[in-house]
Each structure stands twice: as C-alpha cells, then as structure tokens.
A and B are shown apart, each in its own frame.
Chain A
Amino acid sequence: MKSRSFSPMFWRMLWRNATVRRGRSLTAALALAVAAATSTALLDLYIDLDAKLNKEFRKFGANVIVIAAEGGDLAVADIQRQLADGDIVVPLGYAAAKSASGQPVVVAGTDIALLRRINSAWSVTTIAPGGDAMVGIKAAAAIARDPAPVTLSFKGRELALNVSTQVKSGDTEDSQIFIPISAFHDWTGLQPTTFQILVNGSPLQIQAALERLRSALPQAEVRPVRQVSEAQTRVLSKTRGIMLASAILIAFLVALCVLATLTASVLERRKDFAVMKALGSSQWEVNRLFLMEALLLGILGGVAGSVIGMGLAAWIGRVNFQAAVEPRLIVFPIVLGGCVLLSLISAALPLARLHRIQPAVMLKGE
C-alpha cells in the first residue's frame, strides 16, 4: 500500500487538478495569501510597536534627573557608568548672575549640543555663527538694551557673552542663558550640579536605570520625570490594546472568509470525489489527494502572503514612523502554520460531509 501511495499517478492528478482549472486554484491561493499577508503585517507591526513608540517618547527629553548633594562632587562619568550605551547625560551648572544694567539672570553652564539634542522640540535660531552661548528668548529681550558685547558679572567676576543662538522653549529656559561648561567653570568656579538624563527604552528599563542610579549614588537625589514615564506607560498600553484588538478582528474575519471560500471550492468538486470513489478509491486515497492539495495550497499561500506582508509592514513603518518595521523571524512559522492549518481544516470539513453521501447520489447531481 505504502509503495503505491505516492505513485506518479497521484502527483499527476494533483498537478492536473491545479492546472486544469487554474481560476479556482488561484482564487484559493489568493485568499490564503491575503490572509497571510494581513496577519504578517499586523503581527510585525504589533511586535515592533513598543520599540517604535519608545523611540518617539525619547523626544520628550530627559526622563531622569540627578541632582548632586550640596557640596558634593558628581561627574558625568559616575552617572554614565550606570547607564547603557546610547543613554545621554547632560550636565548643568547654574549661577544667578547680573547683566551690566543690573538685570539678574540665571546662567547655566552645559553641553549645549547635547542639551539641544535631547530637547529637539525647542526652536533654536542662529543669531551669529561664531559665538558659543545660547540665550533664552526672554533673556535675550532683557539684555537687548545692554551695549554689545553683553557682559555678565558673577561675584565680581565678569564674562563677555558671545551669543550664537536664541532658544524658545515656552518653559524656564526662555529666561536663561546657556554657556559652555568649561567657560562656566572658569568664570564661576562652580561645578555642574544637575544632570538631565535620557534613558532609552521601555518604562521598565527606565525604572531599572533609576534604581541603579539610586543605589550607586546614595548621596545624590535621583528623580524620575514622572509625567513623561507615566504618559509613556499609558499611551503604550492603550495603543497596544487597540492594535491587538484590531489585529485579532481582522485575522478572524480573514480566516473565516478563507475557510468559507476553500470549503466551497472543495464542495464544488464533489463530482471528482464521487468519480474517484465509484472507481474504487479508498476513503484514505481520496482524503490524501484533497488534503495534499490543501497542504500545498496552504504552503504556497502562506509563503507568498508572508513575503507580501513583510513588505506591507515595512512600508507602513516607513510611511508612519520614518523607519522600516523589521520582519520578525518568529512571525513566519506562526503565519505559515496558521495558513496550512486553515487550509487543511477547510478541506477536512467538507470531506467528512461528502463521505457520508453515496457516490451514486452525487453523480446523479442531487
């Protein structure tokens, strides 16, 4: 039996089945491919969603702030050691200085390039390309009456301001003047005391970094920027929820329709089925032919759909997040398995029904 089971005749029947009525095979494969493509795209997007959204949340700026203990000395390296590569630490030292006209103003010594990098939403305009100071928009208006170059004094020591850019943040930075940290130190003798930190990753990873910093720097004050991490957690979970609900719905609909289409296409061939049985095929032989066909169809539709789905996910990622969604290897076997299973079920259901009917009745066409 076994030797006869996959005879050339079997393959010939399979091949002719697929090629003689191409339209039907094509419709079935197409339905499966659509199902596979949609599921692949949605699964890829769903898996990548957290990473994409976490990356978007980085734009909200620092999510941890470390403040050195009074009189304590804290270096960027001490903090960086507790963090992963790619996390950004911006040191800030503050001093209350006076302009020549007696206007008090807060001057911050910092790494201006890094500060701007983590606060990308600020609107920065270049005033003079050669300078090194960044002036808040309100501070700029307040010192505008001073004769250029503006000099600031701190505890009797003077500093000539070399303004290069103007910043508008809508927050306290608008009233401040930023200068490079080395110039700040030479002028005031003060060290940075505040560190704005941008930790990459999920709310959990940020929390872990927070704990590490707290235990490594017991003297310093380590604060989360609570509103950002809370919003991140909330928005992430809601978006994930809505995405999952949509994906399940769509996958369910598509699966149902594929099931209906494939079932109908098997039922439609009840005459072939009846002829085979009338000619003496065993139940097993008939089943094998139909199931093998379903299996091949499932694989074909699943593979083609997966490829299309990956492209679809990558396209959505590029359009919406300006970064392609990476195809996930784990998705492929899931989708392929689902397709094959779906295809086999849609063949097995009508087969079970057909076996209960006499071939003669079917051939008569009733």
Chain B
Amino acid sequence: MLAGLAVMLGMTIVTAMVAVGIDVGDKINREFSALGPNIVVYPQEDTLDLQIGGVSLKPASEGAYLKESDLVQIKHTFWAHNIQAYSPFLYAELKLGSGADVPLIGTYFDKPVPLEYETITTGVRKTHPWWQVRGAWPMDDSTDVLIGRRLAAKLALSPGSKIESSGRVFRVAGVLSTDGAEDDAIIAPIALVQQVIGRPGAVRRVLVRALTKPEDDFGRRDPQSMSGEVLERWMCSPYANTIAHQISQAVPGAQAEQIRQVAQNEGVLLSRISGLMWLVALAGFGASTLAVASAMATTIFERRREIGLMKSLGAGQGLVASLFLAEAFLLALAGGLAGYFLGGLLARRIGLAVFSSSIAVQPVLLPFILMLAAVVTFAGSLAAIRKAVRFDPAVILRGETA
C-alpha cells in the first residue's frame, strides 16, 4: 500500500514537473510579447532614417515605401504561426488650423486581415501592448484618430473633440499614453495618412512580433554561406534571423532585421528561465526516484516473514525474487498510470494558476512515465529483495532479523 502510494505520488510529481518544464518556455515566451516587436521590416532601397527622439525628420515624399497589400505575405511564410502580430507604420506631418505642424503616425489598431483560410486581426494593440488609451480605440476604417497625451494637454483636446487640418476633420476617439514619442503625435488609421500624403498603399516600415527560438551558434550563421541541407535545417528553426530572412524573401522589396536589443536578450532570458525549470524538474525527478526506492525497500523489508514462509515451504530464491519483481512491476504500472493522470491534472492547475492557461501533458509522456516507474520500483526493490531472499527462513520466522 505504502509502496503503491509512493510510486503514484512520485510519478505524479515527475509528470507534472516534466510537463511544466516542457511548456514553461512557450508560456514565458508569450509573456515576452510585453516587450513589443522583435523584427523590423523596411524597404530595401530606403534612405537613412532621420529620427531624433522618435520624431522623424525625413520628408514624407523622400525614400522608398513598402506596399501595404504585400504585407499579408508576412503571414504566408513558413513560420507564419510564430508571427503573433505586425503593425505597419507611415509617418507624415499634419498642419493644424493654428499653423503648427504635428507628427502624424499611421498604423493598424486592430485591423482584420483576410488570409487564405481565416481572418486574423493585427495591429498595435497586439504588437505594442503597453500603449494605453483613455477613451476608445478608433476603428481602422474610420477617420477617427488617437491623440498623444502631451499633445492633447497642449491643445486642450479630449476624446470626442474635433481636429481640423486643410479641409479635413478628424474626430479624437481617445488619448494615447505610451511614454514614448507617440505622446506628442496624432496616431491615425494608416489609410487616412496615405490619403493625407497622397500615396495610397504606402508603408514606411513594419514592426513584427514573433515567437522565436533562443539564438545559438548555428542560428547566428549567415544564410548566404549555407547551402542545401544545412540551409534547410537553418530555415526550419524559428530563430529571429530565420523569420526575418523569410520575411525579406516573401515581401517584395523588403529587408527585415531582428531588433537585437529585444530579440537577443529575450532569447537569453528564455533559455535561462527554462533551464532553471528543467533543473528544478530534475530535482523533483531525483527526489521522486529516491522516495519511491526507499518506500519499496521498506515494504519488502516488512514482508520478510512472508519470504521466510515461502522459502520454508520450498520456494527457491529465483521464484521468490521473480514473484516480488512481478509484483513490483504491476505496482509500477498501476502507480505510473495513476501518477500520469494525476500529474496531468496538477500541471493543468499549475498552468491555470500561474499563466491562466492550462499546461497540457503530451500523451507521448505516458510510456516514458511507465518505464520510469518500472525502473525506479525495480531499482528500489532489487537490493531489498536480494537481501531478503538470502535470509535463513528459520531465523526470519522466529522473528529475529539479521
């Protein structure tokens, strides 16, 4: 009874810890979306960025553009599922009635984009989760805009106010606070900004948020220097570089780069955290193993009287040992199975409690857990059985232990 319980408990913990260890990287990676975009896409033929303090000095007429209609290709690359969201940006200036020029930024807020089989929504609400709006987010097909917090204070505007500029009227849907350059700008649906500068479909750059794999030496290699199989293997790992490379190829005239400060560091941090969880899982694994083994040893030791009886009735050492091992095997199967399911429940609970999304146990883990249970129970029993079968039955039956 004790041994069965121990096997079950031990395997519960092992299942839960392994499931958590496998999944924690993915879960933490999703938390990193708070860091914002990790890949930037800009036109290949672009002139230099002229930004000071986040304000673009480059005239809207200068430099190259990407085509908005090509951007959907980003979601048609091999690693499309790893691309969580993207936001296009277009920069211009708006002459206000008072004569002042204010920066105008065009983007997607939460725009529906039809793909082949589904429609996704993408935009700054997904790529820039730290942007906060007082009032409402504008619709992407409206002429509503957001106004930066500081600009709103300067112009005494609030949600519902109207902005006039050379014959156009925009309604302020909300006040945006980012603690960045956007606090001094007007942010509008990108179609609106394209109209203002008279360039339909133009996009200056795209910021992409992708789930990436921490970069290792292989991931740092230059795709230009690879060929055939190696290149294929490189393309099949979701490094930030790989995803950027694929975007560069998929979007005509585009060049994609990883934003190193984000992409590199989140990779390092991710491998640290999942490494830590694996080591903790290993500790749990070791503790469970020892617990099961010691419980097995105790149980068998307690049953030495039975062994004595069997031996005095003529059972050989081999028979006694195989009987106990068979029992241990059944115990391992039952305990392992129960532990697998309980561990699954436990992992789910942990996932819900910590990440508010459940952690699933892969069925592929079941044979592994059963095997582990068998090995651990065997290893725990072996020494005790070996000792027990060597006892002189007469001594044991008299109740004197060796």
Chain A residues engaging chain B, CB cutoff 8 angstroms: 21, 27, 30-31, 34-35, 38, 41-42, 45, 49, 52-53, 56-57, 59-61, 67, 94, 96, 103-106, 119, 121-123, 138-139, 142, 168-172, 174-175, 193-194, 223-228, 230-231, 234-235, 238-239, 241-243, 245-247, 249-250, 253-254, 256-258, 260-261, 264-265, 268, 271, 312, 316, 319-321, 365
Expressed in whole angstroms, the minimum distance between the Cβ of B241 and any Cβ of chain A is 10
Residues of A near B263 (CB, < 8 A) are 121, 170
Residues of B near A30 (CB, < 8 A) are 290, 294
Task: Tell me whether B153 is interfacial, beta carbon within 8 Å.
Answer: no
Most B CB atoms within 10 A — which of A56, A230, A254? A254
Q: A38-B283, A264-B298 are in contact. Are A170 and B28 (CB under 8 A)?
A: no
CB pair A96–B50 under 8 Å, yes or no, is yes
Expressed in whole angstroms, the minimum distance between the Cβ of A199 and any Cβ of chain B is 15
Expressed in whole angstroms, the minimum distance between the Cβ of B39 and any Cβ of chain A is 8
Q: How far is A35 from B284 in the complex, measured between Cα atoms in Å? A: 11
Across the interface, name the chain B residue whose C-beta is closest to A309. B283
Most A CB atoms within 10 A — which of B17, B262, B264, B294? B294
CB pair B260–A170 under 8 Å, yes or no, is yes
Residues of A near B36 (CB, < 8 A) are 227
Among all A-B residue pairs, the 9 with the closest Cβ atoms: A257-B291, A175-B49, A241-B354, A121-B264, A231-B34, A170-B257, A170-B259, A175-B48, A226-B130
Q: A103-B48, A121-B265, A142-B48 are in contact. Are A194 and B130 (CB under 8 A)?
A: no
CB pair A226–B179 under 8 Å, yes or no, is yes
Residues of A near B20 (CB, < 8 A) are 242, 245-246
Residues of A near B288 (CB, < 8 A) are 253
Residues of B near A234 (CB, < 8 A) are 31, 34
Task: List, sorted by A's number, 29 A–B pairs whose CB atoms are closer than 8 Å.
Answer: A31-B291, A34-B290, A38-B283, A42-B280, A67-B53, A94-B52, A123-B260, A138-B48, A170-B257, A170-B258, A171-B260, A174-B49, A223-B180, A225-B179, A226-B178, A226-B180, A227-B35, A234-B31, A239-B276, A242-B354, A246-B350, A249-B13, A250-B284, A253-B10, A253-B284, A253-B288, A257-B290, A264-B2, A320-B279
Interface SS of chain B: helix
Across the interface, name the chain B residue whose C-beta is closest to A233. B34
Q: How far is A104 from B62 in the complex, measured between Cα atoms in Å? A: 12
Interface SS of chain A: helix
CB pair B28–A235 under 8 Å, yes or no, is yes
Expressed in whole angstroms, the minimum distance between the Cβ of A303 and any Cβ of chain B is 18
Expressed in whole angstroms, the minimum distance between the Cβ of A32 and any Cβ of chain B is 11
List 9 other contacts, CB 8 Å, given A59-B268, A238-B31, A271-B399: A41-B283, A57-B269, A168-B260, A226-B179, A235-B31, A235-B269, A239-B28, A242-B350, A249-B284
Q: How far is A321 from B39 in the complex, measured between Cα atoms in Å? A: 26
C-beta contact mask, B266-300 vs A, less than 8 Å → 1, else 0?
Answer: 00110011011101110110111011101101110
Expressed in whole angstroms, the minimum distance between the Cβ of B279 and any Cβ of chain A is 5
Q: A122-B260, A228-B35, A231-B31 are in contact. Are A45 and B276 (CB under 8 A)?
A: yes
Residues of B near A243 (CB, < 8 A) are 276-277, 280
Task: Tell me whether B101 is interfacial, beta carbon within 8 Å.
Answer: no
Expressed in whole angstroms, the minimum distance between the Cβ of A9 and any Cβ of chain B is 23
Task: Tell me whether B51 is interfacial, beta carbon within 8 Å.
Answer: yes
Residues of A near B280 (CB, < 8 A) are 42, 45, 243, 246-247, 250
C-beta contact mask, B224-263 vs A, less than 8 Å → 1, else 0?
Answer: 0000000000000000000000000000000001111111
CB pair B276–A320 under 8 Å, yes or no, is yes
CB pair A250–B51 under 8 Å, yes or no, is no
Expressed in whole angstroms, the minimum distance between the Cβ of A67 and any Cβ of chain B is 7
Residues of B near A27 (CB, < 8 A) are 294, 297-298
Expressed in whole angstroms, the minimum distance between the Cβ of A226 and any Cβ of chain B is 4
Task: Tell me whether B16 is interfacial, beta carbon within 8 Å.
Answer: yes
